[in-house]
Each structure stands twice: as structure tokens, then as C-alpha cells.
Chain A
Amino acid sequence: MRFVEVTGLRKQFDPPKGTVAVDGLSFGIEQGEIYSLLGPNGAGKTTTISILSCLLRPTGGDASVGGASIIKQQAAVKEAIGVVPQEIALYPDLTAQENLAFWGKMYGLRGSPLDARVEEVLDLIDLSDRKKDRLEDFSGGMKRRVNIGAALLHKPRILFLDEPTVGIDPQSRRAILDGIKDLNRQGTTILYTTHYMEEAQELSDRIAIMDHGRMIAEGTHEELVKSIGGQATVELTVDHDLDRTLATWCAVDGVTSALAEDGRARLLVSDANSAVPRLFETATRDGIRITGINVAEPNLETVFLTLTGRALRD
């Protein structure tokens, strides 16, 4: 059995008419892998993590973590998991050390083992020199590091991270991503949610793409990209009526889809090298002036776009 097994998970808020946040989700996570849930805001990623953390009761389906059911064996599940929520769930008027010590106590640590472990974690997150400072004095990146540290005190077997890099500087983000890889190397299984394609790509062994509460694709990065036939993305800026331009280009041979995004045209093409000249041709013919062009190799954004017709970053 896989370390995390999710079967037909369903969550509807305020049934019978309320929002269905998670709709029949099934997946599994092997021990020791980094598994990502990738999807735009509102896809159901946070709800999924909340259910797996035993914060929310599923309306249907079940899941197990380390063999323990999230419905019937919550205590065992909670011992095994460490949860890093999306918001900074810490006490701003306590110091970093006090925060970590408190959370450690909540996981059952006490006395000198607790103190030692707190020091270890502070070292891990590289904040030993700031341990006596109150959290309210920390930068965003530092707070996120403590946020992660608080989940590590009891050495969980799996770590749930819910969009841990939102709104922080590139340096801190780099530190966090590297830290996660380190943890994984030491044996911690990781469940990571994000809407940043690059993160999912860099970190994950396997990725699940979610939209509207459902999983629409799953696999390694290569598998996913290949599944859409290796289509490339071409972005063009035009000095013309965008909608008419899109309509024109849709008809061009080799163009799979065309949509407007941020005032630019975003096209999926099967082969960039042959499609681009054709696009220029059509443009010249119709008097459309192209002012900018960007070609991107197939990636997860493309996958999402192909599968849903929408962009990942909404």
C-alpha cells in the first residue's frame, strides 16, 4: 500500500446546494517521494490538505496516511503528519524560540529533548541567531521559515506544505525549496501544493494537476508534457484588434488553440518552427503588425491550458 492513499475524496460545503470543493479525488503518494498538487486558486488544493490533516471531514470517500484512516484513526494520522498552512499560523508576540517550543509541546515534546529539538530546527531553518526576537519583527521570508520549522519539531513522516512560498523574496524562496529537497533526501515524504509551475517542476517526483476539485492529469513532468503531444506555446503582442486577430490565427494550420491573455495572444502550436512563419504570413496578409513574440517549449502551463482552455495563473 502506498504511504498516502486517497480514494474518491469528496467535500461539499453546506450541502445540498453548496460549493463542491473536492469532487471525487483519488491518488496515492509513495513513501519518500515529493508529490505536488498543481492548480489555480480555487482548484481545491487547500481543501484537500485540510481534509488530509483531519481539519475537515470529507463528505464522501476516504483517505489514509501511513495506514491510518483520516476518519477513524485521526490521532495516529496527526502523529505522522506535519502541516505547514498557507497563512503564517504563529504567534507574532512570541519569539521564534517560544513559538517553536510551544508547538513542540503540542506534539508531546517536553523538557530537554524539546529544547534540543528546538535548537536543531532553528539551525535547520537558519534562524539560530534570531531566536530571541519576536516574530512580528521578522521579514516575510523569515516568518515562512519558522512556519515550516514549527511543523518539523516532531519529525513527521510526511510534510504537507500549502503554498509555502507565496509573497516572499526570491532568496527566501530558494532557501525554502532547497530546504524541502534536503528534508526529502533525509527521508521525509512531501505533499506540496502550489500554483507556480516552476516549483512543481523543480521539486516534484510526480505532479497532479487539479481544476475545480478534480484531478485532470497526473504523472511525472515528462509524462505530462508528452501527454499533450509536446505542444509549444507562442505568445504574440499585436498592434491590432486582438479578438479578430485570434479568430484569424485559429484557422492557421498547426494552431491548436488561441486565447487572449494580458492583452497578448497565446497560441498552442504542434510545432513552433513551422507554425511561426505561417502566423507571420497571415499577419502580413491581413495587415496585422506583430510587435513582440515569445516561444516557449512545452511545459505544465501548456498542459493546463490544453486540458482546461484556461491559464494556470488566474
Chain B
Amino acid sequence: MRKVFYIAFKDVRRTFRDIPALATMLAAPLIIALVLGSAFGGSTGFSIAPTRVVVVDLDAAPAQSAGGQIGESIVATLTGPGLKDVLLVEQVVTEQEARDRVDDGDAAVAVIIPAGLTAALTQTQAASTSIVLYRDPTKTIGPGIVNTVIQRVVAQVNGAAAAAGTAAQLAVATGVTDPAVIIQLATTASQAFVSKAQSAPLLTVDAREPQVTAAEKTKVVGVAGPVLAGMMVFFMFLAASNVARSILDEDVNGTLPRLFTTPTPRGVILTGKFLSVMLVVLIQAVVLIVAGRLIFGIDWGAPAPVGALTVGGAAVSAGFAVCLMSLARTPGQAGAIASGVFLVMALVGGNFVGTANVGGIFGTVRLFTPNGWLLKGWDSTLRGGSMGDVLLPVVVVLAFALVTLSVGVVLFRRRFS
């Protein structure tokens, strides 16, 4: 029995002497997490670069329309203090110039306020008219923000117009016939709408993260946590396959056959190797978790679920690694298979996407991979989940581990019988 540990420790020692392997195991995930973490602007939330916007106001209506020149008010909203950090707005004179700016990549979106807008809207029977947003299709966030802003303004304009129209119709219904009075009522109504909309809103929309536990507060999770969790899981699989590959390497360079000539039973030898895989990956996980805490300030969650996820992750990556290695003939083949399989698993499981959910299919598909389950678990504990919340993921993952390890063991025993 001791021999199992001698063999395991020998492999662990060799692994930790291999500087490049250490780099892949420890440095790589941390470096990438650092890169990705900084991509998302630090440990909490987003901060994106301001979007460059050009606006051309072709609306030159006389000054006495309802609510002032609508075109001017749109421009004012865009250039207003509330959006100063988010939009970088420049006003140009012609529509062509605005379009050219976007075509040349100098602006993400051009807002084209049509001519005669205010005039069109102050008639009670207005044909509909459009503000054009001319977008750079390679950008999504910037134009999206501008779209939101414009839609708000447009909603207000439409509301004011509806108020005006409703007042007009009500007036007619109550017997008013003088057009001047009707227009006056319409104008007053639309102004009232605008001022009412700007005072206390009738309905507010709050937004929040889902609460996963019974705990009163939900933790604010930074970006670094999920990113490092994703990287950690991916690199654990990779490290496991590296260590497991040593079974094949040793076969090729003769130390494995030599081991078989000693009085050590083959089962002990193989068990020792499997154990070494698990140990290396466990150590790797612990180091990354501690590093995550110290370098990125990640609060991984309660000790019990964190421990369970770590052990589960080590077990399943060891299992997969051993299974894959048992299918390969040569070490070279093994390297290629492992990289390929784990890459696909990682991409499907969402290791690289963080937890941005598109909903539906994607959420289901990732549950076919063990790393998908692990990430689910890490998500949960990062957000304050308890042991109960991670129980299902851990159980599923251990089941994966058991199945793959068994296959690997059977195949190896057969190969080395």
C-alpha cells in the first residue's frame, strides 16, 4: 500500500520540477484571468469606453412649437450631463457628413434628425416620420446605448403627441368646435405631458441579480471570480491530462516496464499513477484558489461548497484524463487528443464565455459537460450559495468521474496485463 504513495509522490515531485508544466498549470490561468479581468474594467461591473456619436439636426422648425424644437431637445439630451461619460457626441451639418463619419469608422452611430420634424409633429394629423440611426455594424454596445436613449426621447415625443391628440379628440367630443381652442388644448396637454413625465415617474423599473439562497442579501460578484473559475476548471483538465500522459511516456522510455519487473503488483503501480494525477490537480486548484483570493480579492464562498467543488473538479479531471490516455497509443497522440477534447468541452461548457447566458439552448447544452456543471456550482458559491446549492453539481461531477475513471482503469489493465 505504501508503494502506491511512493509512486504517486514521485510523480507529483516530477511534475512540480517541470517548470514549463508549472507555467501551464499555474501561471497560464492566472495570467489569462488577469488579462480578462482587466478587460472587464476591474473587479466589479463594466466600464466601457465612451461611444462616439455624430448627430445632425435637420429640424429647423419655427420656435413656437409644442415643447420647443424637438430636434434641439434630442440633441440636448444626447449632449446632456447625464450621458457625458457614456457618449462622445459631435454635431455635424449635413447628413452625408454624418454617414461618412460612420462609414469611415470615426463614429459608432449617427443620429439623423429629419427635416421638419417639429413642424410635422405639431400638426394634429401627422403622418409618421422617422429618426434615422445609422450604425456601424461591427459595434453593438455603443449603438445599443444610443438606441435606448433615442427610444426614450421618442417615447416621450409620442406620448406628448398622444396627449395632444387625445385632448383634441376629447375636446371635440365635449363640443368644442373652434380650431384655435382645439390647438390650444392640444398644445397645453402635450406640455403637461412633458412636465409630468419629467417629475416623479409613474412607474419605475428596478433590476437585480437572482437570489440563489435564502440569505437576505445577494453578494455582488465581480468579474474576476467567474473568469478565474472558468480558467481554473479548464487548466485543471489540461494539467490532469499532462500528468496522466506520463503513463504513456513511461511506457515508451522503459521505466514502466521496469516497474513491472519489480515485485510491485501492477494494480498498485497503476493506482499510484492515478493518485498522482488527482494529487497534482488538487494542489493546483488550492494554489489557484488561494492566489485568486490574494491577488484578485475573490471571495470564493463558504468553505464546504468550495471544498466539495474543488475535490469534485479534481476527481473528474483526473478521471477524464486517465480515460483519454487509455485510448491513446502514443504520447504524441495523447497530447493531441487531450488538447482537442478539453478545448471543445471548455468552449461548450462556457469556460471562456464566463456566465453570459443567452438562455435556452446554451444553458442546456453545457450540462452535457462536466465543466458546465462545475461552473454552475462555482457560480452558485461565488454568489453566496451553500452546500445544498452545489450538491447536485458535485454529485453529477463525481458520477462523471467514476464512469471515466472506471473506463480508463479497465483499458489500462487490459493493455498492461
Contact = CB atoms under 8 A, between A and B. Distances in A.
A89 B254 contact: yes
A83 B256 CA distance: 13
Contacts of B261: 53-55, 78, 81, 83
Interface string A90-125: 110110001000110111101000000000000000
B10 A85 contact: no
Interface secondary structure of A, over-half rule: loop
B255 interface: yes
B263 A78 contact: yes
Contact of A106 (B13, B18, B253, B259): B259
B254 A87 contact: yes
Contacts of B3: 105-106
A89 B260 CA distance: 12
A105 B6 contact: yes
A89 B253 contact: yes
A94 B253 CA distance: 15
A93 B14 contact: yes
B264 to A, nearest CB: 5
Given A93-B18, A105-B3, A87 B262 contact: no
A94 B1 CA distance: 23
Nearest to B255: A89
Nearest to B417: A57
Interface secondary structure of B, over-half rule: helix
A91 B258 contact: no
B370 to A, nearest CB: 31
Contacts of B7: 106
B339 to A, nearest CB: 23
A98 B254 CA distance: 17
> Which range holds the interface residue count of chain A?
20 to 34
B14 A107 contact: no
A216 to B, nearest CB: 28
Contacts of A106: 3, 6-7, 259, 262-264
Contacts, number: 57
Nearest to A92: B253
A53 B258 CA distance: 9
Contact of A79 (B10, B13, B253, B263): B263
Nearest to A75: B263
Contact of A89 (B2, B14, B17, B258): B258
> Which range holds the interface residue count of chain B?
20 to 34
B6 A90 contact: no
Most buried by A among B2, B3, B14, B257: B257
A105 B3 CA distance: 7
A88 interface: yes
B1 to A, nearest CB: 12
A50 B258 CA distance: 10
A53 B257 CA distance: 10
B263 A107 contact: yes
Interface string B1-23: 01100110010011001100000
A85 B263 contact: no
A187 to B, nearest CB: 21
Given A93-B14, A93-B17, A102-B10, A78 B253 contact: no
Contact of A85 (B14, B18, B254, B264): B254
B272 to A, nearest CB: 10
Contacts of A50: 257
Contacts of B264: 106
A93 B257 CA distance: 19
Contact of B14 (A53, A79, A94): A94
Most buried by A among B3, B7, B10, B262: B262
Given A78-B263, A79-B263, A94-B13, A55 B257 contact: yes
Interface string B232-265: 0000000000000000000001110111111110
A88 B254 contact: yes
A55 B13 contact: no
B258 A102 contact: no
A106 B250 CA distance: 15
Interface of A: 50, 53-55, 75, 78-79, 81, 83, 85, 87-91, 93-94, 98, 102-103, 105-108, 110, 150
11 contacts: A50-B257, A54-B261, A55-B260, A79-B263, A85-B257, A89-B255, A89-B258, A93-B17, A94-B13, A103-B262, A106-B259
Given A55-B260, A85-B254, A107-B262, 14 more contacts: A55-B257, A83-B258, A83-B261, A87-B253, A88-B253, A89-B254, A91-B14, A94-B10, A94-B14, A103-B258, A103-B262, A106-B6, A106-B262, A110-B2
